[in-house]
Structure 1
């Protein structure tokens, strides 16, 4: 028979005694630990939300072109000195877009430890509407009028109403604001290479819109419907020398002159 190997004396004693007892806090110790944890949490809350340690010391603005960072910071309405954690970023976004119509989109976030950061995207004009007082209103691709000045921005076609008698008689059915909106849609459908050559979008009636290009060239556009298709056809036609381009029926375009 094989001899049995005796276990070391210390091993037998440890097995007999079982696992070491777990460390247990008394009720008083548990209360003390809980109080210390609550005190630490409260201190953190006070430090972040109420103390001047992490206050707002700067408002950093990026993305401006026509606007200035100071204009955006003023519209944000955040005064330096308050805790950064307590700034309502959603409210800041609403204030900026509500006060500055030139702003299309806004991002606001906290740049710890002391900076509120704002990034704006300004609206891009696709047309400038000639007003009765001689001023020009910039309009973006969504039809939003966001700025008015004494001159049209460079590289943007000017929308002019040159209504024929039938269009004036039909004002109750198709008001002038809808005709202007149709012209803005036409301008918005133009690719940049063509828009830069378009000096004006003239509206004679709802289905008689024309582009005035540089060099005295004219584009008969028709209505604002099927704008992207007409824009593609016009881009191809401009490779041919002509005085007049007709894309009012894009399936059967024509040139003359």
Structure 2
């Protein structure tokens, strides 16, 4: 007697098992191709960004200059045209620009796809100092820097004596900047004398004996009241006993 055989239908358990085993393999192959494509895209993008001039520097924008010219800033910044923007050395640009005496601070931004933006803050001169090396300007941080042009005529003159000129300059600037605007506008000379401290010459042949840097805010508050009185010398070296003398 011949054994009867049964043929499994296409949708039988064995066929479904084979399809179930093949499905993960197809998904794996598809996923592998997707990963390879993504890696290729990332590689091409990295090459374009970092190693070709496609996203290279085409312009350098300069903002914030008043005395320094934009061309001078670009020259010192030394950004080579065509350099990939992602490889621009911002620290190097900032370091070179900070070597300019007139520069107070620098901000560098990369503006895609092809622009380097430079924003400067220039030092604002408060006093003019005449030295053996020439005319220099002094800002509110007591930083002395050379004047590239004729200094403004309305700046008070700073005169220093003694060996420690840095300390003297800081003391003089601290006293001057503590004054309110109305008193500051009357100052013609700010002087530091080692034996007496800070002394200021005002309009109408008046003199202010300021002294040392202590209690500067209180001295600045007392002085406007003192200046309403007739006199030639106004002494606030002692805030407990300010005086006015002919």
TM range (shorter): 0.7 to 0.9
Distance in structure 1 (CA, Å) of the matches to 2:75 and 2:181: 33
- Which position in structure 2 is the counterpart of 1:218? 207
Taking a change above 3 Å as real, the CA distance of residues 156 and 131 of structure 1, as seen in their structure-2 partners, is same
Preserved CA contact (<8 Å) 2:142 2:169: no
Distance in structure 2 (CA, Å) of the matches to 1:191 and 1:103: 26
Distance in structure 2 (CA, Å) of the matches to 1:225 and 1:155: 28
After superposition, the C-alpha distances for 1:98-133 in whole angstroms (9 at most, x for unaligned) are 2x1211111111112221111111122232222135
RMSD over aligned Cα atoms? 2.7
Distance in structure 1 (CA, Å) of the matches to 2:55 and 2:165: 55
- Which position in structure 2 is the counterpart of 1:59? 60
Q: Does 1:237 align with 2:226?
A: yes
SS of structure 2 residue aligned to 1:183? helix
Q: Which TM-score applies when normalising by structure 2?
A: 0.79
Distance in structure 2 (CA, Å) of the matches to 1:149 and 1:71: 13
1:1-257 → structure 2 map (5 Å cutoff): 24=24, 25-98=26-99, 100-132=100-132, 135-148=134-147, 152-161=151-160, 175-257=164-246
Taking a change above 3 Å as real, the CA distance of residues 206 and 137 of structure 1, as seen in their structure-2 partners, is farther
Taking a change above 3 Å as real, the CA distance of residues 202 and 254 of structure 1, as seen in their structure-2 partners, is same
Unpaired segments ≥5 residues, structure 1 = 1-16, 164-170
Q: How many angstroms does 1:27 deviate by?
A: 4.4
Which stretch of the first structure deviates more once superposed, 43-52 or 75-84?
Answer: 43-52
Preserved CA contact (<8 Å) 1:127 1:188: no
Distance in structure 1 (CA, Å) of the matches to 2:152 and 2:29: 76
How many equivalent residue pairs?
226
Unpaired segments ≥5 residues, structure 2 = 1-15
After superposition, the C-alpha distances for 1:11-49 in whole angstroms (9 at most, x for unaligned) are xxxxxx9xxx8x743544333222111111112112222
Taking a change above 3 Å as real, the CA distance of residues 232 and 89 of structure 1, as seen in their structure-2 partners, is same
